[in-house]
Amino acid sequence: MTAGTAGSAVPEPYDATPFLPARGGLPAHRRAAADCQGCPLYRDASVTVFGRGNAHARILLVGEQPGDQEDREGEPFVGPAGRLLSKALREAQIDEEDTYLTNAVKHFKFTVKAPGKRRIHKAPSLREALACRPWLEAELRLVDPAVVVVLGATAGRSLLGPSFRVGADRGVPRPLPDADGTQVVATVHPSAVLRSDDREAAYAGLVADLRVAARAAR
Ligand code: URA
């Protein structure tokens, strides 16, 4: 069973744009996002998980999509990946209070092997990430950070294009396309650190990239 397979069809191309409010700040956008049906992922997820944090943050971090715990709590990065990210931010001397955390995709995509079994994360498609991008663009416009940190491939492809590769593109600040002076720094997703065979080295790489982001935000 895959998220978004039941119910009436969502019109194609998938696109969140019709659900965005014409005006308003982050609270208005968070309220509107709760009713987004721009792609089929809304059907099986519990809630829309909008971004959280400092509305005037100098550093905005973009993950992939909410996980199981985020879907239950309605907040991004509150599960194991979020705890690891918080630790890495502290180590890179980035005050989490001065950040804004969000995801490229605002609904949890998952599979279940059988009814009542654990929900297993399934990576969102590029089509779903692009459908959701208007929410991310609105967050970028409203927060207007100095630096955007893309955590992993989904966030990277959403913001930097389909040829983005974490391995090739990480750790180097570059201008965010179509943004006025905002820099972007790519790094690994904290879940990839948790899954890594050499967790210590993967974590050190994440912290090093976050230090680059911290310097770029000064
Ligand atoms: N992974 C993400 O990319 N985002 C979250 O919010 C949680 C886990």
CB-CB contact of 61 with 81 (8 Å): no
What is the 85 CA–ligand 1 centroid distance (Å)? 10
- The mean pLDDT value for 100-105 works out to 98
Q: Name the band, by pLDDT with cuts 50, 70 and 90, for residue 4.
A: very low
Q: Domain for residue 160, yes or no?
A: yes
pLDDT over 50 (residue 49): yes
Distance of CA 95 to the CA centre of its chain: 19
Q: Find residue 111's DSSP bridge partners.
A: 2, 120
CB-CB contact of 157 with 164 (8 Å): yes
- The number of domains in the chain is 1
- The mean pLDDT value for 31-59 works out to 98
Q: How many CA atoms lie less than 13 Å away from 60 in the CB half-sphere?
A: 28
Q: Domain for residue 196, yes or no?
A: yes
97 three-state secondary structure: helix
Range of 131's domain?
24-216
CB-CB contact of 115 with 166 (8 Å): no
Q: Domain for residue 7, yes or no?
A: no
pLDDT over 70 (residue 7): no
Ligand 1 pocket (Cβ < 6 Å) reads 63-67, 70, 76-77, 79, 81-82, 103, 191
What is the 20 CA–ligand 1 centroid distance (Å)? 22
Q: Domain for residue 19, yes or no?
A: no
What is the 82 CA–ligand 1 centroid distance (Å)? 7
pLDDT over 80 (residue 8): no
Distances (CA, A) of 62 to 43, 44, 75, 90, 198: 23, 22, 13, 17, 24
Q: Domain for residue 1, yes or no?
A: no
pLDDT for 164-207, tens place per residue?
999 999 999 999 999 989 999 999 999 999 999 999 999 999 99
pLDDT over 90 (residue 92): yes
Q: Find residue 148's DSSP bridge partners.
A: 60, 184
Task: Report pLDDT for 66.
Answer: 98
How long is the chain?
218
Q: Domain for residue 106, yes or no?
A: yes
User: How many C-beta atoms lie closer than 10 Å to residue 104's C-beta?
Assistant: 27
pLDDT over 50 (residue 68): yes
What is the 72 CA–ligand 1 centroid distance (Å)? 12
Task: Report pLDDT for 6.
Answer: 54
pLDDT for 110-167, tens place per residue?
999 999 899 999 999 999 999 999 999 999 999 999 999 999 999 999 999 999 999 9
Residue 169's nearest CA partner among 191, 147, 152 is 152
CATH number of the structural domain spanning residue 114: 3.40.470.10
CB-CB contact of 206 with 98 (8 Å): no
Q: Domain for residue 118, yes or no?
A: yes
Distances (CA, A) of 63 to 60, 68, 218: 10, 14, 22
Question: The pTM is what?
Answer: 0.96
Residue type for position 161: G
Task: Report pLDDT for 1.
Answer: 46
CB-CB contact of 77 with 114 (8 Å): no
- pLDDT averaged over the chain? 96
Q: Kindly state the percentage of the chain with pLDDT values over 90.
A: 95
Q: Domain for residue 13, yes or no?
A: no
Task: Report pLDDT for 95.
Answer: 98
